[in-house]
Amino acid sequence: MKTHKQIKDWGLGLSGPLIIAGPCSAESPEQIEKICIEMKEENVIPSMFRAGIWKPRTRPGSFEGIGEEGLKWMEIVRHHLNIPITVEVGNAAHAEIALRNKVDVVWVGARTTVNPFAVQEIADALKGTDIPVMVKNPMNPDLDLWMGALERFHAVGLTKLAAIHRGFSDAYDKRFRNKPNWSMPMHLKRVWTGMEVINDPSHIVGKRDGILEISQKAMNFGLDGLMIETHHDPDNAWSDAKQQVTPKRLKEILAAIDFKKPLESEQPNERLNDLRRAVDHLDDQLLDILQERFAVIDQIGAHKREHHLSVFQSDRWKDVMESRTQKGVQKNLSEKFMKELLYSIHEESVKRQEKQLRESEAVKK
Indicate which of ligand PEP, Mn ion, none lies near residue 136 (CB less than 5 to 8 Å, by partner kind): ligand PEP
Cβ contacts of 112 within 8 Å, gap of 6 or more? 56, 89, 90, 91, 118, 119, 122
| 185/166 Cα distance (integer angstroms) | 10
Which long-range contacts does 253-261 make (Cβ < 8 Å, 24+ apart)? Answer: 253/211, 253/212, 253/215, 253/228, 254/19, 254/44, 256/212, 256/216, 257/212, 257/215, 257/216, 257/219, 258/216, 258/219, 259/17, 259/219, 260/219, 261/222
The verdict on 24 binding ligand PEP (CB under 6 A) reads yes
Q: How far is the CB of 110 from ligand PEP (least distance, A)?
A: 4
Give the residue with the Cβ less far from ligand PEP, 123 or 228.
228
Indicate which of ligand PEP, Mn ion, none lies near residue 196 (CB less than 5 to 8 Å, by partner kind): none
CA angle 355, 357, 359 (to 5 degrees): 70
The verdict on 52 binding ligand PEP (CB under 6 A) reads yes
List phi, psi (to 5°) of 143: -60, -35
Which of these segments, 36-44, 108-116, 242-250, 281-289, binds ligand PEP (CB under 6 A)? 108-116
H helix runs in the chain, sequence order: 29-41, 69-72, 74-81, 92-100, 110-113, 116-126, 143-155, 183-191, 201-205, 211-220, 247-256, 268-306, 314-330, 335-364
Indicate which of ligand PEP, Mn ion, none lies near residue 166 (CB less than 5 to 8 Å, by partner kind): ligand PEP
The verdict on 200 binding Mn ion (CB under 5 A) reads no
Position of minimal CB gap to ligand PEP: 109
- What 8-state DSSP symbol labels residue 234? G
Which of these segments, 26-34, 74-82, 105-113, 355-363, binds ligand PEP (CB under 6 A)? 105-113
The verdict on 136 binding ligand PEP (CB under 6 A) reads yes
Which of these segments, 133-141, 235-243, 329-337, 352-360, binds Mn ion (CB under 5 A)? 235-243
Contact call for residues 200 and 24 (beta carbons, < 8 A): no
The verdict on 125 binding ligand PEP (CB under 6 A) reads no
The verdict on 97 binding ligand PEP (CB under 6 A) reads no
The verdict on 237 binding Mn ion (CB under 5 A) reads no
Give the residue with the Cβ less far from ligand PEP, 138 or 247.
138
| 108/104 Cα distance (integer angstroms) | 14
In sequence order, the β-bridge partners of residue 245 are 230
The verdict on 24 binding Mn ion (CB under 5 A) reads yes
Q: Look at residue 24 and give its three-state secondary structure.
A: coil
Which of these segments, 18-26, 32-40, 79-87, 112-120, binds Mn ion (CB under 5 A)? 18-26
Contact call for residues 234 and 202 (beta carbons, < 8 A): no
Give the residue with the Cβ less far from Mn ion, 24 or 134.
24
Indicate which of ligand PEP, Mn ion, none lies near residue 185 (CB less than 5 to 8 Å, by partner kind): none
| Size of the residue set binding ligand PEP (CB under 6 A) | 11
The verdict on 21 binding Mn ion (CB under 5 A) reads no
The verdict on 203 binding ligand PEP (CB under 6 A) reads yes
Contact call for residues 192 and 2 (beta carbons, < 8 A): yes
The verdict on 46 binding ligand PEP (CB under 6 A) reads no
| Size of the residue set binding Mn ion (CB under 5 A) | 2
What is the pattern of x (binds ligand PEP, CB under 6 A) and - over residues 147-176? -------------------x----------
Q: What is the largest CA-CA distance in the chain?
A: 81
Binding stretches for ligand PEP (CB under 6 A)? 24, 52, 56, 88, 109-111, 136, 166, 200, 203
